[in-house]
């Protein structure tokens, strides 16, 4: 299948953020965890485009959060169903949307170690729309079965669960997750990438339609909001990223 050429004027980070903005859709509250500059870009851009809606909570930010009750407030909020969208990633993600943020190989004698599960082992269950995000789309990261389950993609019927995965965004494509079938389906491939390439670099089985759409480019309005208001706000939490992607000069004071 021929691929559409990538738009030279749109960076890959901007395209991925735009994909996420559309997944966020209309939400009241979007929370973004640690080490997630592209989801943070998307959430801040969505807020700029929505004139203040959704509420955005960036972990690690003093400014972009309304929490006043310490670290537990995000989790308490989510436990009540007051967080609509959250983002998770994984050193490994498998075809049933199980995520591994801990280790490769045997847990007690790991071959590789990742930072840890953060809040995933809880938030994956209670946030209605969890967007999985991983920029490295390879057979190393997208595997048939994860070595350690930080949080499972689905749960047995008797387990309390009001949330879970809706999609997986990678540098090559967008997958949608079907909770009933416990499977991903290819929703679109990004410009410059192909279905064949996605098949070659994905370690798990997934479904795909006869005609796979190309991921659309961000609109001029979205790019303006992203490169303007959102980029400046982003630099407080992700100064290195904001400098590299959006050319925002770093400040020396907090």
Partner 1 sequence: MTTRRKDETQAMALLARTVDEALVAIADGCVLLVARESSGVAMEATRALIRRGVKRLHLVACPTSSLQADLLIGAGCVDTLETSAVSLGEFGAAPQFTAATIAGTIRMLDATCPALHAALQAAEKGVPFMPLRGLIGSDVLAERPDWRVIDNPFGEGDPVVLVPALKGDVALFHAPMADRAGNVWIGTNRELATMGHAAQKTVVTVETLYDGSLLDDPQLAAGTLAGFYVEAVAVAPRGAWPLGLPGHYAADADHLAEYARLAATAEGFAHYLERHVHAQRAA
Contacting residues toward partner 1, per CB under 8 A: 34-35, 37, 59-62, 67-73, 75, 79, 101-103, 107-126, 148-152, 155-156, 158-160, 238-241, 250-254
Bridge partners, 188 (sequence order): 174
At its nearest, how many Å lie between partner 1 and the CB of residue 96?
A: 11
At its nearest, how many Å lie between partner 1 and the CB of residue 249?
A: 13
At its nearest, how many Å lie between partner 1 and the CB of residue 62?
A: 4
CA separation for the pair 186, 164 (Å, rounded): 18
At its nearest, how many Å lie between partner 1 and the CB of residue 117?
A: 5
CB-wise, 210 or 251, nearer to partner 1? 251
At its nearest, how many Å lie between partner 1 and the CB of residue 26?
A: 26
CB-wise, 63 or 210, nearer to partner 1? 63
CA separation for the pair 65, 55 (Å, rounded): 8
CB-wise, 64 or 137, nearer to partner 1? 64
CB-wise, 126 or 186, nearer to partner 1? 126
Task: List, in sequence order, every beta strand (DSSP E) within 179-228.
Answer: 183-189
At its nearest, how many Å lie between partner 1 and the CB of residue 102?
A: 6
Residue pair 17/226 in contact by the 8 Å Cβ criterion? yes
Nearest to 138 by CA among 91, 187, 206, 208: 91
CA separation for the pair 28, 32 (Å, rounded): 14
Nearest to 133 by CA among 95, 82, 91, 105: 91
CB-wise, 158 or 210, nearer to partner 1? 158
Residue the block writes with tokens 């416990």 = 182
Q: How many residues does the chain have?
A: 254
Class of residue 253 by CB neighbours under 10 A (exposed 0-12, middle 13-18, buried 19+): exposed
CB-wise, 64 or 201, nearer to partner 1? 64
């Amino acid at each position: 299948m021929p691929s559409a050429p990538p738009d030279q004027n749109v960076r890959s980070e901007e395209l991925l953020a735009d994909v996420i903005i559309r997944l966020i859709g209309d939400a009241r509250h979007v929370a973004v965890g640690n080490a997630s500059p592209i989801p943070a870009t998307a959430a801040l851009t969505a807020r700029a485009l929505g004139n203040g809606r959704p509420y955005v909570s960036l972990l690690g930010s003093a400014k972009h959060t309304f929490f006043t009750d310490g670290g537990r407030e995000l989790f308490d909020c989510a436990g009540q169903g007051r967080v609509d969208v959250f983002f998770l990633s994984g050193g490994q993600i498998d075809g049933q949307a199980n995520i591994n943020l801990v280790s490769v190989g045997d847990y007690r004698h790991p071959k590789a170690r990742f930072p840890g599960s953060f809040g995933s082992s809880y938030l994956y269950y209670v946030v209605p729309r969890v967007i999985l995000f991983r920029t490295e789309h390879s057979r190393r990261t997208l595997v048939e079965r994860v070595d350690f389950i930080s949080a499972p993609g689905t749960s047995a019927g008797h387990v309390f669960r009001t949330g879970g995965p809706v999609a997986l965004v990678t540098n090559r494509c967008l997958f949608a997750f079907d909770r009933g079938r416990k499977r991903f389906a290819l929703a679109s491939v990004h410009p410059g990438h192909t279905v064949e390439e996605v098949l070659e670099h994905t370690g798990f089985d997934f479904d795909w339609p006869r005609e796979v759409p190309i991921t659309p480019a961000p609109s001029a309005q979205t790019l303006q909001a992203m490169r303007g208001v959102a980029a400046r706000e982003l630099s407080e939490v992700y100064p290195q990223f904001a400098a590299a992607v959006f050319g925002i000069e770093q400040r020396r004071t907090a």
